[in-house]
Amino acid sequence: MIIKNLITHVISAPLEQPFYFSQGYVYRRSSVIVEVIGEDGTSGFGECMCHGQQSPFLASSFVENCYKEEVIGKDSLDVEVIWETLYNKARPFGQQGIAMNALSGIDIALWDLNGKQLKQPISRLIGGRFREKLAAYATGFYRLDGKKYPETSVEDALKFKEEGFTAMKLKVGFTPEKDIEYIRSIRKAVGPDVRLMVDFNACYSQAVARRIILELVPENIYFYEEILTPEDMEGYKALRNLTASYMAAGEEIFGKIEINNWLKNGALDIYQPDVSSAGGITECKKMAAIAQAYNTAIMPHAWGSGVSLAASLQFISSLPYTPMSFCPSELFLEFDRSSHPFRKELINDGIRYENGYIYVPDAPGLGIEVDRDILEKYKVVK
């Protein structure tokens, strides 16, 4: 279908109560929703993921000023041709970061439009589904002023357990001593059968990380996420085989070229590209194929609105097990439970969660319907 227009919807809303993590406070949740409109009036939607401290106008400006003119007039089925054209245009000044973030939203929107045109969910168009539902881990545990820790997080962990979650990811990075005490308290509360992941958001040196990892061996942590900065590949290589826990990172790894460099260096056990930031569905499928060649797992980061969550579901459902076997290791979907004013509203609560699993939508495209009233309600103009 020929694309007649491309629109960026910048939406943002203040949090009723700001929360903080190892890198500072988050005061609002934002998204850039990309809409591509076909010649028959059908729209496809995608999202450029916004980190907690990221202005949405970075990605929207890149889409409008660099990519838009290259998309209008093209056939939406030429999704890879469009991807390579946009990447090549930005190559001299943006091979990673916001350039790939912006490209991701366009790519997802094209796949959504194609799915609607062909009356198939995206997962069926990119190879089919290896799973109809995904085991979810609860992400939350951000800190609030006026609350006591670890007591508040222990309450949150027990609530998630009651809701059926068998895995959850903690937010830490508030000095080694406090982190160790905090993690031990939550492990004691939830028991040995809950998989605990721990996210540091890139706040420690290799030496401090080594101490934390070794002291927490008895707590059987499933994976350590971003314990070092994303530039410290050598540090990750040094920590990777320190214990039985997996080393994870990758929300700041963009595209096939960069992930191949990490993989050939053997730096991580689990890679976490975000489909709404690392290059979209087109590029993330290639990243996953390269990881498969190294017999290494992809377990994507997911922290956007419902549009990004739906894209992650379609993408992850299409990934083969690593490796294929009678009893394969299951992939987990990150399910953000932190405060978000429009995550569910934007897609009319179109994602089904039940007993620790999220079901992949079967409707065409992303499988969800974007509520235009919510786009208008939370619209911001610079």
Tell whether the model's pLDDT for residue 308 goes beyond 90.
yes
Assigned token pair, 148 = 């006591």
Residue 303: count other Cβ atoms within 10 Å of its Cβ: 22
Q: How sure is the predictor about 224, in pLDDT bands with cuts at 50, 70 and 90?
A: very high
Q: What percentage of residues in the chain have a pLDDT greater than 90?
A: 99
Which residues carry out catalysis? 301
Tell whether the model's pLDDT for residue 25 goes beyond 90.
yes
The predicted model gives 202-219 an average pLDDT of 98
Q: What is the pLDDT of residue 55?
A: 96
Assigned token pair, 227 = 């314990």
Q: What is the pLDDT of residue 330?
A: 86
Diameter of the chain measured on Cα atoms = 60
Map out the domains of the chain with their CATH numbers: 3-120+372-377 (3.30.390.10), 123-359 (3.20.20.120)
d(CA 212, CA 222): 14
Residues 6+ apart with CB under 8 A from 50: 29, 30, 31, 32, 56, 59, 304
Tell whether the model's pLDDT for residue 28 goes beyond 90.
yes
Tell whether the model's pLDDT for residue 177 goes beyond 90.
yes
The predicted model gives 72-96 an average pLDDT of 97
Residues 6+ apart with CB under 8 A from 325: none
Q: What is the pLDDT of residue 142?
A: 98
- Residue of 226, 184, 223 lying closest to 204 (CA atoms): 226
The mean pLDDT of the chain is 97
Query: Cis omega before residue 323 (within 30°)?
Result: yes
Which tens digit of pLDDT belongs to each residue from 99-153? Answer: 999 999 999 999 999 999 999 999 999 999 999 999 999 999 999 999 999 999 9
Q: What is the pLDDT of residue 179?
A: 98
Tell whether the model's pLDDT for residue 382 goes beyond 90.
no
The predicted model gives 212-227 an average pLDDT of 98
Q: What is the pLDDT of residue 328?
A: 93
Q: How sure is the predictor about 206, in pLDDT bands with cuts at 50, 70 and 90?
A: very high
Give the 3-state secondary structure of the chain.
CEEEEEEEEEEEEEEEEEEEECCEEEEEEEEEEEEEEECCCCEEEEEECCCCCCCHHHHHHHHHHHHHHHHCCCECCCHHHHHHHHHHHHCCCCCCHHHHHHHHHHHHHHHHHHHHHHCCEHHHHCCCCCCCEEEEEEECCCEECCCCCCHHHHHHHHHHHHCCCCEEEEECCCCHHHHHHHHHHHHHHHCCCCEEEEECCCCCCHHHHHHHHHHCHHHCCCEEECCCCCCCHHHHHHHHCCCCCEEEECCCCCHHHHHHHHHHCCCCCEECCECCCCCHHHHHHHHHHHHHHCCCEECCECCCCHHHHHHHHHHHHCCCCCCCCCCCCCCEEEEECCCCCCCCHHHCCCCCEECCEEECCCCCECCCCCCHHHHHHCECCC
The predicted model gives 196-211 an average pLDDT of 98
Q: What percentage of residues in the chain have a pLDDT greater than 70?
A: 100
Tell whether the model's pLDDT for residue 318 goes beyond 90.
yes
d(CA 11, CA 379): 4
The predicted model gives 276-283 an average pLDDT of 98
Tell whether the model's pLDDT for residue 189 goes beyond 90.
yes
Q: How sure is the predictor about 186, in pLDDT bands with cuts at 50, 70 and 90?
A: very high
d(CA 197, CA 258): 24
Q: How sure is the predictor about 5, in pLDDT bands with cuts at 50, 70 and 90?
A: very high
The predicted model gives 44-64 an average pLDDT of 97
